[in-house]
A = this chain, B = another copy of it.
Amino acid sequence: MPVGTRATVKTLSPKEIEEVGSEIILGNTYHLYLRPGHELIQKAGGIHQFMGWKKPVLTDSGGFQVMSLKGLRKITPEGVRFQSHIDGSYHFFSPEKVMEIQNALGADIIMSFDECPPYPATKKYVSESLKLTLDWAKRGKIAHQNSKQALFGIVQGGVFEDLRQESAERLMEMDFPGYSIGGLAVGESKENMLKITKFLNKILPKNKPRYLMGVGTPLDLLNNIENGIDMFDCVMPTRNARKGTIFTSKGKMIIKSARYKEDIAPIDEDCKCYACRNFSRAYIRHLFSVDEILGMRLATIHSLHFYLKLIKAARKAIIESNFKKFKNKVALEIGSEKIV
């Protein structure tokens, strides 16, 4: 899922989001609540109508964002009191309030309000946080009154397998239509991240989607798909693209590099995206070097197209019982941090 924090996938039009192959995008409840406000979006006919995007949308719970407001927020069993990062104004998110906001935004898939513990955190902290998140999940499920929106529970528990198991099992008792895995990609090692998704693969129901929040590099996606993950969101392809780092089938390309100054090849020879069909590395490098917005647009288009093509290829490989081979081939070609 490309990330459309403020009802726009940065630099792209909805037409382009569709053209790169997106089937669903993510919006951020915290940001949309503050600006332009969920009532306004509801009045405009919901998030799809407001932003001109006809396909599915998922909204997060805002939990991750308000927890990140260190010093500006206070957690109580009732919910979280926080100050806006924009103007310092005071607000309160409870599981019920977050459902009210997400019901108003009208996304197709919505999230339970959760506490995402920091990393590192003691087992005691994570365990207590988990109880809160489970209680909030229950309250959110009761408050959620729109059968057209699928509410996912969020599995927490840090890097502790027993806590993850407890979290998953309690949520499964509540019977959500899908399960998110939160609290990863927050600073722990890749080994720990994969250990947890592999562990949860044995526990979570096979017939319901599993969504790993905030991950990651192309190889992170494949490694986690191998561990049973179905859905991802990450700002990496779009944010890196805007800064001139483009994901390609051969690794990461730093397009501002002098080596591309006179390079009239497309970003990626085998790619069929709008950027690769029409423009050279030299042109896109020029756009970046003179700070022209079209550069960020073309880099974003290519990187998202690359990510989504990778995911489609992974799906195909799974269907053809060929995933392991596929993953190893991609890993060889891309490398995890390889710069082309």
Contact = CB atoms under 8 A, between A and B. Distances in A.
Interface of A: 6-8, 10-15, 35-36, 40, 43-45, 50-52, 261-262, 264, 274, 278-280, 282-283, 286-287, 289-290, 292-294, 296-298
B40 A287 contact: no
A286 B36 contact: yes
A11 to B, nearest CB: 5
A36 to B, nearest CB: 4
Nearest to A52: B278
Contact of A12 (B262, B278, B283, B294): B294
A203 to B, nearest CB: 40
Given A14-B278, A50-B280, A290-B6, A261 B36 contact: yes
Q: How many copies of this chain sit in the oligomeric assembly?
A: 2
B8 A264 contact: no
A262 B43 contact: yes
Contacts of A296: 293
A298 B274 CA distance: 19
Nearest to A264: B44
Given A52-B279, A283-B51, A293 B10 contact: yes
A40 B261 contact: yes
B286 A13 contact: no
5 contacts: A6-B287, A15-B274, A35-B289, A36-B289, A44-B283
A121 B293 CA distance: 38
A280 B44 CA distance: 9
